[in-house]
Amino acid sequence: MLNKTNGIVLHTIKYGETSVIVRVYTELFGIQSYILKGARGAKSKNKMNHLSPLTLLEMDVYHKESSHLQYIREMRITHPFSSIPFDIVKSSISLFINEVINRAVREEEPNPPLFTFLENSIRWFDLVQNNYTNFHLWFMVHFSRYLGFTPHDNYSATNHIFNLREGCYQPMLPEHADYLDNPLCSYLADLAETRLTELPLLQIPSPIRQDLLPRLVDFYRFHISGMKDINSLQVLHEIFS
């Protein structure tokens, strides 16, 4: 059956001599893998330009519930990127964000609120011109809400220890090393309370940014079973060093 759906490109691999298999998070069907025939052929009409990570698409697709591999008939870019591919910091952050989504989202069912969050976040990140170096931190904190393990909003002067395993702030150190203390906790709480449009106003020192990101990755690992390593984490560390 032919369906029209929006999608976010996550990953592409070669298939045969001229085709590709593209993994897409779709608005109607969740995570899906599609064969795009002739995408690498001489007459492909630059189809590969549509398949960069996080590209926002509108697609006409053939969908069968019993199949793990679907087919794309047509696709159109709904938001041509104006800055992400041309800015080394943005492209590095987008690489990280794309890998986090790939590792965290596995559902083959529609989740409209999650799709809208991802789509709006990607659009905003491409369009924002200044003060976006905290976007990946903000994204990690707010993305977790749609995955079911967001940090509790109970930070205070007394609850200043964040337990990564439990996802909440507490007054005493836990009996393990998987926790955050101030000043990391205060910035984590600020990120959770900040709206996307207000993010450029949030100032986080570079050393805090560097320390907080791997701990947020640890937070994800505790709450997503079998989550693989985020290889692009080291790339971001080098970019922001």
Same fold, 2-77 and 84-240: no
Higher pLDDT, 40 or 190: 190
Please give the average per-residue pLDDT across 65-70, as a whole number.
88
Q: Decide: 212 and 181 in contact? Cβ < 8 Å.
A: no
Of all residues in the chain, what percent are helix, strand and coil, respectively (each to 5)? 40, 20, 40
CATH of the domain spanning 2-77 = 2.40.50.140
Q: Is residue 25 within a helix (H) or strand (E), and if so which, with residue range?
A: strand 19-26
Give the tens place of pLDDT for each residue, 195-216: 999 999 999 999 999 999 999 9
Span 133-151, mean pLDDT?
A: 97
Continuous H helices in the chain? 88-104, 112-127, 135-147, 184-193, 206-223, 233-240
> Can you name the residues that pair with 34 across neighbouring β-strands?
22, 70
Beta bridge partners of 57: 7, 77
What per-residue confidence (pLDDT) applies to 17?
Answer: 85
- What is the structure's pLDDT at 68? 87
Asked if 146 and 114 touch (Cβ cutoff 8 Å), the reply is yes
This prediction has a pTM of: 0.94
pLDDT for the residue 216: 98
User: CATH number for the 84-240 domain, one of 3.40.50.2000, 3.40.50.10470, 3.40.50.300, 1.20.1440.120?
Assistant: 1.20.1440.120
Does the structure show a pLDDT above 60 at 125?
yes
More confident residue, 240 or 212: 212
What value does the mean pLDDT of the chain take?
Answer: 94
Domain coordinates of the chain in residue numbers?
2-77, 84-240
Q: What confidence score (pLDDT) does residue 156 get? A: 96
Question: Average of pLDDT values for 125-146?
Answer: 97
Instruction: Please give the pLDDT value at position 45.
Output: 59
How would residue 47 be classed by pLDDT, with cut points 50, 70 and 90?
Answer: low
7-37 pLDDT, tens per residue? 999 999 999 888 899 999 999 999 999 998 8
Q: What mean pLDDT comes out for the span 52-73?
A: 93
The number of beta carbons lying within 10 Å of the beta carbon of residue 42 is 6
pLDDT tens readout for residues 72-117: 999 999 999 999 999 999 999 999 999 999 999 988 889 999 999 9
**For 109-132, b where at least 16 C-beta lie within 10 A, e where not — what string?**
eebeebbebbbebbeebbebeeeb
Quote the pLDDT of residue 43. Answer: 60
- In this model, does residue 46 exceed pLDDT 60? no
3-class DSSP state of 4: strand
Of 149, 121, 147, nearest to 136 by C-alpha is 121
Token digits for 217?
Answer: 């990755």
Question: Can you tell me the distance from the alpha carbon of 96 to that of 181, in angstroms, rounded to the nearest whole number?
Answer: 25
